[in-house]
Amino acid sequence: MEKLQKQGYSAFLNQYFRENEELFSNLSKKQKPHTMMITCSDSRINPALLLNAQPGELFITRNIGNIVPPYLPAKGATQAAIEYAVNVLDIPKIVILGHSNCGACAHMYHQTNKNEPSLPHVENWLQYIIPAKSAAMLEVHANHNNNIFELTEKHNVISSLQRLMEYPYIQTRLVNHEISLEGWWYDIGSGKVEMYNFNTRHFEPVIKEIS
């Protein structure tokens, strides 16, 4: 923490902030992000860094497993963030960003050990990944694809997209072409990002080749 305070904050204040004072002056009055990112709490995932985005561009919501839960009025923080982003900030795009080596998805195949700590809130939250696990297991059986974890991560993104489409105010905007939804999967080791193609129903590279 001392490193972050003395070196990290100092570098931000004396370099980045000084070079972008006009930007921060404008941001101090209002925000107008163009994209909402729903991603994982995982410390390795940094959407702003990944997209080289400036402050004020992305409205970011994090939770374990980058999950969009079912629509339930006044239920939880993720639903509240989506509601605010769409109905107040009028954000025209929502991206669900999953990633490789996702602990939440891997946990679905984990055998409980009596020596491990009790995680009742985590276990309850991860029930939303069960449909993704089921879809991944079906695909493994059908296509003999043995990368069950990557498949689960990708199906988890798809499941969240499907639930997001059930939010009433999202449905209205989709019908009126006022919002777009995207599902991304980020490979931490290679830096590659794949986007779900609603037509082919497969994930495809955002950039064909990375030089």
- State which H helix or E strand residue 125 sits in: helix 120-125
Do residues 89 and 59 touch, judged by C-beta distance below 8 A?
yes
For residue 51, how many other CB atoms are within 10 A of its CB?
A: 15
- 67-94 pLDDT tens trace: 999 998 878 999 999 999 999 999 999 9
Range 93-110 average pLDDT: 96
* Structural domain spans, the chain: 1-30, 32-205
Please state, in angstroms and rounded to a whole number, the distance separating the CA atoms of residues 117 and 157: 28
Superfamily classification of domain 32-205: Carbonic anhydrase (3.40.1050.10)
Return the number of other C-beta atoms located less than 10 Å from residue 153's C-beta: 28
Asked if pLDDT for residue 167 goes beyond 90, the answer is yes
- Kindly report which listed range (35-44, 129-138, 141-150) carries the lowest average pLDDT score: 141-150
Residue 116 gets the label, from left (phi > 0), alpha (psi -120 to 50) or beta, of beta
pLDDT digits (tens, 9 = 90+) for 20-75: 999 999 999 999 999 999 999 999 999 999 999 999 999 999 999 999 999 988 78
